[in-house]
Structure formats: C-alpha cells, structure tokens
Structure 1
C-alpha cells in the first residue's frame, strides 16, 4: 500500500516490510476487525523483529465482503489508532490472504492440513463455540455442531473445522497444530480443548485420543477496544494514507495480550509487540472479564436505557463515570491480589479508555449476546462475594438493566423482527419466556431460570433476587437516571 501521498499526519512505518517471512504459518478463524487490530498487529511486529514464516491465512466463516476487500489488497490493510491528540495510521501486512468458508470449505481444510501451518488462532465470539460451559461437552443442537456432526467432511462451524483439519493431519502423519482461542471465554483454552475432544469422540474415538495426546490449547487473555468500522474509518484512512481502503479498521492505542506459553511447534516472537507470556493466564483473564468486560456490560445496558449510543457519551456523565468506578471496585473485591497489578490503577486506566472521545464504541454492539456474556462477567463475581456483602448492588443493577432491555425491545415495536432486535443466541427462548409479562418479579423469574444459565447459588439466593427485582422495578417505572442515582446513593 503506497503511502507517499500522506503528508499532514504521520504514517507509522510498516514493521513487516523488513521481515524475511513470505510463507504462512498461522490460520486464523474469524478474520474480523478485532483480529486485525490485535493478533495481526502482534504478528506484524514479531516478524519484523525476529523473522519466521508466520504470515496469517484468514478465514471468514460467514462474511465474504472482508475476504474480497483483503484479497484485492494482497492482505494489506490500514490500522487507525484513535489517540486523544488525533488519529495515527500504519500499514499491516501480516495477513497472506483470506478465504470465505461460506463459498468453499475445501481451501480452508487444505490450509488446516498444510504442514507449514503450526498455529490456528480464533476470534469467533462466544456463541459460535457450541460448547456447554459447565460440562465441556458439545451442544449437539447448536446449529453448526449439529450440521458438522452429520457432515464431518464439509463442516461449517468452528469445532467441525478444527477436528476435520486435525483428522487430515493425523491421517497424513503430520504434526498437530496448536489451537489458540482469543475470545472472551473463561479458561478459553481448557474449554476449547474439552469441546474439540468431545466433538471428535462423536466421530472417531481414536482421533479424540490422538488430539488428547498431541494438541496444545494455550489459555489467552486479549484486550483492545475495537469499534465496528464506519464510513468515517474509511474516510480517515484515505486522508492518512492517500488511498481508498475498504478493509481499514480503527482501534484505541491500548493493547494487551497475555498468553500461556504452551506451543507444541513454535510461535512468533509476539513478546516483541508487547505480549506477556506466562505460565498461568487465569488471574489476568478473571481481572479483565470482571473489571473491563463486566463494566462494559453495565455501560451497555444502562446506556441503552439511558439513550446513550456510544460508551464515550455515557462516560461523559459524571454520575455514570462514578457508577462504573464503583462497579470496578466491587468487581476487584471478588479477586485475590495479582502480583504486579494494582486493581485501582487498572480501574482508573479503564475509565480513561472508556472516556476516550476518539473511540466511537456503540453500546448496542457491546449489548449483543447477553446470555453468553453475563455468566462470566456478572454472575461469577456475584457468586464470589461473601454473604451479606454490601457490594452486590452494581451486579444486580447490570442484570436488572439486561432484563429491562430485553423487555423493552420485545414490547417496543411489534412490527419488526423481535428476535433480531434482541441480538442474542437464545432470543427465541427469551421471547417465549417473557410473553406479555409486565410485573418485574415475574420477568425476573422467567429469565433467571432459563435452563443452564444462572448459577444455582444465585437462583437460591433471596437477597440477590430481591436486589435485582427492586432495581428492575425502578428502571421500568422511573428510568435509568433514577436507578443510577439511587445506586450511587446506596
């Protein structure tokens, strides 16, 4: 990508231009904006610093537009960092090419079987896994899982693809690749390992044993706020680089990647880009899920009810900012100390990141898939509070706000597709459970008892139930501002 026309804003140098790598060593499943703002950047820097054949073959499970845009530019794209003093751009060339699985699954399977591929990374969002988080077994009625169990040679979902690729390698005597989940799932490596092995058991017990003995699934924690690209993203890319770039993305300056250093066949020097390689990721993961992601969910649902389109607009309110700070304090109280981390400093940094006026992160984007996100972000820390804790309030408020958003969307516009409005993998269950109920206590009971969702500890907790219902009643009768002010007063 030629940048010679850019004159008024600094264009960062392209690290991968200096790398000796030309061949791919990674397949990435889910080549959306977050991957391109995160793992692709770390790989770009790693190749520049240490070389290696680590370019990325990107796989899109559903979309074709991003595949076409990237391939038209030889995998190159513009990354815009939204700094408080203005945007900065750089060219990323760590992606070799992209494949649209929806068009043809064969090249995806060929890539997964290629001995040159040593790592498969994943960002597909929580709902695409099809794994029961309690048992670690596959959800056989999950659409993609159901299809792939019936059609293992032509899979369309994550587990089916991974297992089909590993089967080809086993049959050909090729060493297994390392599988790295980069999604916001608790114990993402262990969960994915359990799901892949269980999926394989349904098809071929010998393959399941081979996977158990040969495949590594490192845990990871990822963090970088990456809003959906807009027309403004592409306009700024043109201004900064002088070229049209339909694959341009934008993100915040901050980025973090904590990785369990457990790779069976090598890895890029990601630490050169600032990645932290550790023996145990779980404490970092828990911190991020409870403080960052939990606060994001609180902002998303309260923001939706309060009429805030963007996180930055909600955080411009002093009361909203204080509510988020309070929730982070409550979340921090549920965790043991973490060496080298001051939870207060971490929380203050998060507040500053959320308030960044240059980042247009929509509350509606964060609010999607609540039934997938709330268990680890809200329910788990609420369960870890001691009995009688005075810190339960913001957790109860977040769940109450989710209930209120679901109720509002179902009742707001009967002429549109309600399930689409809910934007949740369990939308049909939510609609069926809620019906026309208007009583906050009934709404709570109907949704709190969705099968396999809220922990039994909370279902049996009368204090939790009362706290949520009281806040839901206030949200429904007086609105978000009243509920926010009452929470701060408490």
Structure 2
C-alpha cells in the first residue's frame, strides 16, 4: 500500500481537499517542541488556517525531544496527514500541510538549535506534558535532581531539555542581534507562561546573568489555555482511514469539532492574524482555571474510577448514571472555586463538556487520561480542594477522585487485572506506599508525599478523613460500588 505523500495526492477521494497553498513557498515561522497527536490536531491546524488564508510565513518545524516515532510516521508522507473530526455519526477529513519538517532532538540537537535561532522563527510552541518542564510540582522551581536537567545545568552545548534548548537558542539569537521568539506553553499547567519563563530565566542565569536579563527584558512567555479532546490513534483507525483514502496515513489524528486556544496578547515578535478558535485576551488565568478544574478535573476522576472498574472509554463510564451524578457533583464543587471571565457562561460550558464527553466516536481511553497523574492532580483536584477547605466547604466529590488516584497506584483494577502505572513518580509513589497496610496508612503516606501534595493540605484532618473514607470504599466495594455509595450520600 502506498503512503500518503505529495506524489499520491491525486489518488485521494474528491471530498478530501489538499492544502490551498503552495507548500514549497512556505516559510517556517514556528518551531514546535513536543510533536504528537495533540499538536497535530490543535496548534498545527491553527497555523494551517493562517497558511490557507494566504500568509505563508507560518509553516511549522516540529521536534521530538525523545522518540523518532512521529518523525518516522511523517517524513515518508512529506509531513502531510489527515485530521478526522468525529461527532456522532458525522465524520469529516481534512488534509493538514503546515508541518514541513520533524527533527528528533537527541539525533540532531544542532538542527533544532539552528531552527530555533533562525531569523524566520517568530513563535515557539510547546506540548511536552507537565513533566517536560523539569519543574518540581510542589515548588514550581527547576527539579535539579532530574538527570537531563542536571546535564543542562553543566553545559548547553547539546541540550537535553526543553528549557535547555530555549536558553541555548536565545543565546544564539542574542549573539546574532536577533529579537527573541515568543515562547508559548500549550500544556495544562496553571500559569504555564510564567512557569516556562521562570524555568528559562533560572536556567539562563546559571549560565549567563546577562543573557537572563536580556530574555527578561525582551522575551515573551504568554499564558495560554488550549482545549481539544484528541484520543490516541489506534491501528484500527489507521486501517479504516487507509481503506477510505486508498493510501496509508500513519500520522493521522482523530478529534472532536471543538477547538479553543486562549492566548495572552503578549508577543515580542511577529504573530499571524489568528482565525476561528483563537481568542487573544489580557488575562488567561480565569479561562485556564475553569478548564483545569472542570474539564481536566472531571477527566481525571472519570479516568481513575472508570479505569479501576475496567471501563475503557470516557463515554462508557458516563453511561453509568452514578458516574454522571459524580461528575455533576464534582463540577458543583469545583465551580465554587472559579473566578470565570464575563464571556464564560459556566452552566453552558458544563453542558457542552458533558456533550463532548458523551461523544462515542472519539473513544477516548481512560488509561490515556490516567497517565502522569502526579503531575496533573495538584492543579486539577488538589487546588480546588484547598480552596473549598479554606472556605469551609465540603470536598466529597473531589476527594473521591483523589482517592481513586491513590488506589490507581496499586497497578491492579477491581477485577485483579494488572496495568502499568505510567507516571514519572511511579517508583517513588510505590515506595511511599510499600509499607502502608491499611487505607488510613496509604492516605497518610500520600498526604506526606510533598512532591504532589502541598504543605497546607498535608495536615488537614477533613481531607484525611474524606480520603480515608473513599479509599476504604473503593478497596472494599470497588469503583462502581464507591460511585453507588456516593449517589446515596
């Protein structure tokens, strides 16, 4: 079977339209670090829109900091891939051509540095997951115990981390008399722009105080909030798309109709005239907080409770009335901790979220969402818990979600089937829980785990009691039993 590529475009069905621009004339004004399915279904689509609108400065050079997998998917396809937008019985396919080249950084560190330092590069976007910033989740400071970051603290000749690449490239731009690029974190971190800026400035200052001052004065790290559900592509998806296209597309992505990108209007270099789905604003934090605590918080609760119950997909979890009730109650609790912008109708947003979760064609896997929980829980669940405790409010739903995460660390679901706990702190968490014999002991071990739990929560008696209650319930009655008990409270 032939692969999707420039030479096979003529073989595509008539309802799949190729890019409306001359790809050979495109200049790459964007470098994206962390090429994966989410970027290909979100930011790359936004830049593809700009190219289709006639501004050919916004091609993308993408980079992987680890695996060559995406490069090996895309390079034989000349960077082309299809995006399937699924909504119930409706499916639309669009060909995306914005990604012009993929660099595997460990193989070609100098190529990535050259792309970042190029005068054509105006924007750098990042989707490297929470752990990619090499920050301590509790303090927000650089995690100097990380071996890759430790190497970058010694030398930036061949960087190993995203902050390392940014600092090294900004040093090259400064030496060449170029303006910095605008660096935009697109990960689900609270105050993601400030965190990226602090990581870059701290690392820069360890090497060159003058460089750090230059970045602080001239650089830009806008806050952002991104939202689109992008489930992992399966071999079955690729087989179905191959049958539809008549050529094989190993880089395809699938997603929902909804796309949102809220960006703080703070750029130090050129930017495109963003189109549909992008909102420039003076304050991203209220949007970010609502998304983290409503969409992402609910997703985490669904993932751990559903995963423990042996349920594979989000929409299947929500087919249980008791799970639906739990999500609504979690939203009731989280909503009281928000300061939503005037443009955000929270009731309408909640209805829209439930409809998105119910989309059966996305087949969003609970185990995909469950990854890297130690990096996600502080902002998704522990922050609203802290706010409600401070206000003297209950935390039943939020603590049930956290208790499910604690139970998830056992690596065994309610039927006894095993799974990998995919988390950068999995070994440390397992060590902390190893000698805990009772639910109360396990809760105490987690509350004292300061890499995840902030100090103000560690000694809270109400949280301890609530977590112990729900963890006991999950361990004795299973996740479904705990959800049924939650309904009856």
TM-score, normalized by the shorter chain, greater than 0.5 = yes
Give the deviation of 1:391 after TM superposition.
Answer: 4.0
- Going from structure 1 to structure 2, the CA distance change for 1:282 and 1:388 (only over 3 Å counts) comes to closer
Give the deviation of 1:14 after TM superposition.
Answer: 4.1
Other-structure match for 2:449: 450
- Going from structure 1 to structure 2, the CA distance change for 1:159 and 1:469 (only over 3 Å counts) comes to same
- Going from structure 1 to structure 2, the CA distance change for 1:52 and 1:22 (only over 3 Å counts) comes to closer
- CA distance in structure 1 between the aligned counterparts of 2:28 and 2:423, rounded to whole angstroms: 35
Contact kept in structure 2, 1:120 and 1:178, CA below 8 Å:
yes
Partner deviation per Cα, 1:434-488 (whole Å, 9 max, x = no partner):
1143300100111111124212222222111101100000101111122101112
Other-structure match for 1:345: 348
List gaps (5 residues or longer) in structure 1: none
Other-structure match for 2:469: 470
- Going from structure 1 to structure 2, the CA distance change for 1:394 and 1:290 (only over 3 Å counts) comes to same
- Going from structure 1 to structure 2, the CA distance change for 1:238 and 1:3 (only over 3 Å counts) comes to farther
Contact kept in structure 2, 1:19 and 1:51, CA below 8 Å:
no
- CA distance in structure 2 between the aligned counterparts of 1:229 and 1:219, rounded to whole angstroms: 29
- Going from structure 1 to structure 2, the CA distance change for 1:469 and 1:220 (only over 3 Å counts) comes to same
Contact kept in structure 2, 1:325 and 1:351, CA below 8 Å:
no
Q: Does 1:253 align with 2:257?
A: yes
Match of 1:46 among 43, 46, 50: 50
Give the deviation of 1:409 after TM superposition.
Answer: 4.0
Please report the TM-score for the alignment, with normalisation by the length of structure 2. 0.94
Partner deviation per Cα, 1:90-136 (whole Å, 9 max, x = no partner):
10001111111121211111111111111110000001111235544
Q: Does 1:107 align with 2:111?
A: yes
SS of alignment partner, residue 485 of structure 1: helix
Other-structure match for 1:81: 85
* Count of residues in Structure 1 that have an aligned counterpart in Structure 2: 483
Contact kept in structure 1, 2:88 and 2:360, CA below 8 Å:
yes
Contact kept in structure 2, 1:189 and 1:219, CA below 8 Å:
yes
Q: Does 1:36 align with 2:40?
A: yes
Other-structure match for 1:299: 302
Question: Considering only aligned residues, what root-mean-square deviation do their CA atoms show, in Å?
Answer: 2.2
Other-structure match for 2:283: 280
- Going from structure 1 to structure 2, the CA distance change for 1:370 and 1:136 (only over 3 Å counts) comes to closer
Give the deviation of 1:199 after TM superposition.
Answer: 0.6
Match of 1:146 among 145, 150, 159: 150
- CA distance in structure 1 between the aligned counterparts of 2:36 and 2:53, rounded to whole angstroms: 25
Q: How does 1:294-443 map to 2 (within 5 A)?
A: 294-385=297-388, 389=392, 391-409=394-412, 421-443=420-442
- CA distance in structure 2 between the aligned counterparts of 1:21 and 1:340, rounded to whole angstroms: 39
Give the deviation of 1:50 after TM superposition.
Answer: 4.6
Give the deviation of 1:178 after TM superposition.
Answer: 0.7
- CA distance in structure 1 between the aligned counterparts of 2:127 and 2:391, rounded to whole angstroms: 38
Contact kept in structure 1, 2:411 and 2:420, CA below 8 Å:
no
SS of alignment partner, residue 128 of structure 2: coil
List gaps (5 residues or longer) in structure 2: none
